[in-house]
Copies of this chain bind each other. A is one copy, B any other.
Amino acid sequence: MSTARARSLTHEDPAGVDLQTALEALADPVRRMILQDLAAHDDWTRACGTFDLPVTKATRSHHFAVLRAAGLIEQRDDGPRRLNRIRRPEFDQAFPGLLAAVLDVSGR
C-alpha cells in the first residue's frame, strides 16, 4: 500500500456531519448509484474500479470523496484495489431513516 495513497483517504464520521452536507451528498444521481450498489453487496467486496458509472475517472474519484466527507462510505486500500463499504449503521444513527428513504425511492 502506498502511504501517499492511504493518506489521501480522509474520512468523516457521520456523527460529525451536518444535515446540509448529508443532503448535498445524496442529491446526486451518480452518488446514489454508488450507494445503491454498496447497499446491495457485502462490506468491502466492491472495488472502486468495478462500479459501472457514466462518468470519467476523475469525476468518479470526486464522487467517492464527497461520499466519504458526508460519512456515507468508508474506503480502504487492498493492494491495487480500493475497497468500499456503505456506513449504514453509523449513518442511520446520525440521520435516522434518511438513507432508507433515499435508497428505497432510488431503487424503484
Beta-carbon contacts under 8 Å, A26-72 to B:
26-29, 32
Partner of A102, one of B24, B28, B98, B104: B98
Do B23 and A102 touch across chains, with their CB atoms under 8 A apart?
yes
Number of copies of chain A assembled together: 2
A34 to chain B, nearest CB (A): 15
Residues of chain B within 8 A of A27, CB atoms compared:
20, 23-24, 26-27
Residues of chain B within 8 A of A19, CB atoms compared:
32, 102, 105-106
Q: Which residue of B lies closest to A32 (CB)?
A: B19
Q: Which residue of B lies closest to A24 (CB)?
A: B27
Residues of chain B within 8 A of A28, CB atoms compared:
20
- Is A101 close to B, CB under 8 A? yes
Do A101 and B105 touch across chains, with their CB atoms under 8 A apart?
no
A72 to chain B, nearest CB (A): 13
